[in-house]
Structure 1
Amino acid sequence: MRVCLLVVLAAHLAAAASPIAPLPRGAVELLPGPLRARFQANRDYLLSLPDHRLLFAYYKEAVIKIPTGVQPLGGWEAPQIDLRGHFLGHFLSAGARIYAATGDPEMKAKCDRIVAELARCQRANGNGYVGSVPEKVLGVLESGRHSDVWAPYYTLHKTLMGLYEMWRLAGSEQALHVIEGMAGYIEKRLAALPEPVMRKSLEVEHGGMAELFWDLHSATGQERYRPLARKFEHAAILEPLARGEDALSGLHANTQIPKIHGAFRAYEITGEPRYRAIAENFFRMVAERRSYATGGNSAREFWGDAGKLHDTLGESNQETCTSYNMMVLARMLFTATGDVRYADFHERNLYNGILSAHNPEDSQFCYFTPMKTGLSKTFGRPLDSFWCCYGTGVQALAELPAAIYFEDARGLYVNLFVPSRAAWKNGDVSLTQETGFPEESSTRLSLRLKRPLRFALRMRVPFWAREGAKVTVNGAPFNAEAAAGSYLTLEREWKDGDRVEARLPMSLWTEPLPGAPEKVSVLYGPLVLAGLAFSETVLKGDPKAPATWLAEAPVAERVPGPRVPKQTNWLPEYIDWPRPPLPTWRTKSGPPMQFVPLYLVQTQPYGLYFEVRP
């Protein structure tokens, strides 16, 4: 079929005549490249953690003898920390995702052992309870002494979330049995709680409890979970959002985002438009009014006033948990709308929030991404940190294969540019993506089909591709407008061996700091560039035209990607791929300064916003 017979549709909103969903887990394989290397490093780190140390707090609460010589983990897993045990739930979630994507038997066996030990703890407790914090802490919460507790339901949610994903993604019926017992415990406890007491207790961070019970209601069909989900809906937060009122100033950021996940799941299950309005209004208030150029948000874990970030730059910006949870919300909203803005937001946070906060050489994470010039990232230690952002960090990396391709009744979406292979239509279609992104600004798709098939192939044309996309089909130039911030839809009868190549020109551009337009951050495509500097520096040029104050550095100064040690033979080739180093830039005048992608910066002091004067 001649190229000219293709039907091309490009729009800000992709036509979503039917629900959009990620391809099934296991249908997408990461191919050698930097994201697969990070995925592998994450997997190896998780497998290195000893089972009994992960379970230490659960054994203690169940009064089960702890094996001789076993010590608790450090950091937030230490016995004196009220959130101890939270990481185990994240661990199970990440492990289940890795197994579902790869069939990794070692990961499955480790997670199954841990689920069996949690079941053992539940039997020892004798009342359905399985947790890493004392039951009496819930009584303190219910008594209204909120200052005497940290976040007990937050911690319990992590355990239940991990068990839920072990059931849904890794097929563990034992995990479901444990969840049902714990749900019964919570149901009985809350049934005896007066409504005003329950409402007051929701002022304390409780994670994604509403989302969890909506998930259980949907997956099991059991009506008992619906009222439990409703009990954890925090009306004081949700009602203003339903009315479109911005009441987020002064709130703890990551406490709120999982509540919105729950609201969106309620929309998906009940169809009530109020819940969708809550999610869309919230996303706009955070992503458009309270976010940095990285896509991340929060200062010292809190939100300030909308559009006023000028006095927030410091050592505690962009809590990694908030980046991850906003990415989850963006994906939820994308599946409901097909709006490319949510996919763009996801990509921006992936590179500048998640990958930036991860050191692939030892797979450790940052709690915050500092934004004040002269500061540097602080990565944790393998057995002695376990901040909340360790948990969301391991989940985010385990989720990488699930964020690349989506489908609806018409066809496929290509949302991320990642070396990968996708099996679709029960294996009738195989799509392989070859790309060196972000080191190169193009991607190549090749299709293998058992028989010719008509469908729509939608390629994201990112907002940062200011010149649009240049596309060829089977080597022939394809002349159609593919504007930045849209989907290029190629709908035709595809045949075995068809090839598509898209060039997505990357260029330098700037974004001002909300509330201080004289300060700008400079980006290359989706990548925020960090200026390596020890102190504030005023640069000379046009703040809207970075080419007036930055020049591309010689090839010899380019930054190679981080090296990832070969730790296992599970994916023996995962580090070995030929890749050109990323370009870097340096100032044209004034104090010499190098600008490099933030996600490759590890220990160097840097700045993200600079005052630029003509």
Structure 2
Amino acid sequence: MANARGTSFPLDRIRLLDSPFRQAQDTSVRYILSLDADRLFAPYLHEAGLVRAAEAYGNWESDGLGGHIGGHYLSGCARLYAATGNAELLAKVRAAVVILGNCQAAHGDGYVGGVPRGGDLGQELARGEVDADLFTLNGRWVPLYNLHKTLAGLLDARVFAGSGEALDIAVGLAGWWLRVSAHLADDAFEEVLHAEFGGMNEAFALLWELTGREEYLREARRFSHRALLDPLAAGQDLLDGLHANTQIPKVVGYARLAGPTHDADLAHACDIFWESVVSRRSVSIGGNSVREHFHPASDFSPMVQDPQGPETCNTYNMLKLAKLRFEAHGDAAAVDFFERATYNHILSSQHPGTGGLVYFTPMRPGHYRVYSRAQESMWCCVGSGLENHARYGELIYSRAGNDLLVNLYIPSTLDWPEYGLRVRLETGFPFSDTWPWLLPRKRR
């Protein structure tokens, strides 16, 4: 594939044909439909003072991160609906949005979330009470990271399932946060960002794209976290030892903002980060990190020795970055990375029988992987895993003007109604060296 800037097709234009990717997508549908929405959204109802139909799940959902899987679940259902057209998934999206709307109405100020005492957090921050460590903010386990999952789920419900109600709830939640952050001076805001906050800058950038409201653009910029951005923009690679998946979503946000705002610092920061992570810190499967942290770029021995190798969440976010990079610059190397990480890490992170999901993929010779259990394991990589296997279609094809770009050899069909065209891609790659067949057909 030559270097050419490509615009991705909407996910609902692509349908996977039989292959390991289609099988993984089908397994993901079964996994996500097996989850009990009443239990997933119990933390939201509890925080809103509403009656719960069931008790919350255990594990991380009851250890301080209540609601984070609910946000990923909403994203996963919406994306899987777009990828498959399964009406049951659309019903799940609509039911979840109703619950979140009821919770927001009960709070009365726009807030909605499963964060323990999350509504009080806003009042504390507005009073200038900021106590931030890497994984805690005012005594709560990464509450902004958690809220980001809710906000991202609502935005995905709008983009992939057409829910205007979800966008209204997202606007309400964003308004609550803007009223909180208006009381925070820049130095206090930067202190808040010392605690992991997920992709809040990306979410506010997407809200700006969807609504055109400039206050969301300003807040996305405010979430840029100068402690990471400034060294990267100056060409400095200071990533050794940093918690990897705290940093990657920030750079995804930089990438989403860099193009439309023509911000040279954001663009350069993305370049330096990409080069550091992909060229100097990633292994053959496309993953990175040891025990969730960036290992020294000069020493890969911990990657081989430690059983806690590349984290699936990291690759989930690096794929977002790769897609944005290709769409902005036509960087063929970004597609090469996307292919390597998708085929070798993401696809293998799901158990083909049970649908269980992997946190770490050890590079240690002869070691084993641990798969989640649907009704028990509520790790971060379970949350992102609910989305991963819905996304296989998002970069198979793209378009550059009138040209069709085929980026990945994954058996699939594409509808391109503007040209009255249906494309069918059949291939045995990577299990066969038979050259793929690309069959354009006029739609009937």
From 101, 105, 118, the equivalent of 1:119 is 101
1:27–1:424 Cα contact (<8 Å) kept = yes
1:140–1:149 Cα contact (<8 Å) kept = no
Query: Could you tell me how far apart the structure 2 residues matched to 1:201 and 1:178 are?
Result: 24
Query: Could you tell me how far apart the structure 2 residues matched to 1:126 and 1:139 are?
Result: 14
Paired residue for 2:231? 240
Paired residue for 1:72? 56
1:58–1:121 Cα contact (<8 Å) kept = yes
Q: TM-score, normalised by structure 1?
A: 0.68
- Measured after TM superposition, the shift of residue 422 of structure 1 is 0.9
From 86, 97, 115, the equivalent of 1:104 is 86
1:264–1:332 Cα contact (<8 Å) kept = yes
From 272, 294, 297, the equivalent of 1:306 is 297
1:329-377 deviation line (CA, Å, top 9, x unaligned): 1111111222221111111111221112110211110100112223200
1:93 corresponds to 2:93: no
1:390-449 deviation line (CA, Å, top 9, x unaligned): 111121111111121111104111111111111124252221111122221231111113
- Measured after TM superposition, the shift of residue 25 of structure 1 is 2.2
- Measured after TM superposition, the shift of residue 85 of structure 1 is 0.9
Paired residue for 2:318? 326
Aligned letter for 1:126? G
From 280, 283, 292, the equivalent of 2:274 is 283
Paired residue for 2:151? 160
- Measured after TM superposition, the shift of residue 92 of structure 1 is 1.1
Query: Could you tell me how far apart the structure 2 residues matched to 1:118 and 1:351 are?
Result: 35
Q: 1 or 2, which has the higher strand percentage?
A: 1
Aligned letter for 2:144? Y
1:217-265 deviation line (CA, Å, top 9, x unaligned): 1111111211211221101101111111101111100000010011111
Unaligned regions of 5+ residues in structure 2, if any? none
- Measured after TM superposition, the shift of residue 102 of structure 1 is 2.7
Change (3 A) 1:217 1:369: same
**Greater relative CO (CA pairs within 8 A, separation 6+):** 2
Aligned letter for 2:292? E
Paired residue for 2:440? 447
- Measured after TM superposition, the shift of residue 273 of structure 1 is 2.6
From 176, 180, 205, the equivalent of 1:214 is 205
Superposed structure 1 runs of 4+ greater than 4 Å apart: 137-142
Aligned letter for 1:360? P
1:397 corresponds to 2:381: no
Query: Could you tell me how far apart the structure 2 residues matched to 1:145 and 1:330 are?
Result: 30
Q: TM-score, normalised by structure 2?
A: 0.94
Query: Could you tell me how far apart the structure 2 residues matched to 1:419 and 1:312 are?
Result: 33
Query: Could you tell me how far apart the structure 2 residues matched to 1:113 and 1:120 are?
Result: 11
1:73–1:384 Cα contact (<8 Å) kept = yes
Aligned letter for 1:169? F
Paired residue for 1:63? 49
Change (3 A) 1:139 1:368: farther
Identity percentage of aligned residues: 39
Query: Could you tell me how far apart the structure 2 residues matched to 1:269 and 1:62 are?
Result: 37
Partner SS, residue 415 of structure 2: strand
Change (3 A) 1:287 1:145: closer
Q: 1 or 2, which has the higher helix percentage?
A: 2
2:132–2:192 Cα contact (<8 Å) kept = no
2:130–2:191 Cα contact (<8 Å) kept = no
1:149 corresponds to 2:149: no
Query: Could you tell me how far apart the structure 1 residues matched to 2:271 and 2:227 are?
Result: 17
Query: Could you tell me how far apart the structure 2 residues matched to 1:369 and 1:138 are?
Result: 37
Partner SS, residue 103 of structure 2: helix
1:173-216 deviation line (CA, Å, top 9, x unaligned): 11111111111110100111222111111111000101111111
Query: Could you tell me how far apart the structure 2 residues matched to 1:446 and 1:293 are?
Result: 32
Note the 1:468-507 alignment, pairs <5 A: none
Paired residue for 1:609? none
How many residues align structurally?
A: 433
Unaligned regions of 5+ residues in structure 1, if any? 1-9, 452-614
Aligned letter for 2:107? N
2:93–2:161 Cα contact (<8 Å) kept = no
2:132–2:195 Cα contact (<8 Å) kept = no
1:128-180 deviation line (CA, Å, top 9, x unaligned): 11010122345667422535332110000000000011112211111111111
2:285–2:341 Cα contact (<8 Å) kept = yes
Aligned letter for 1:444? W
1:138–1:152 Cα contact (<8 Å) kept = no
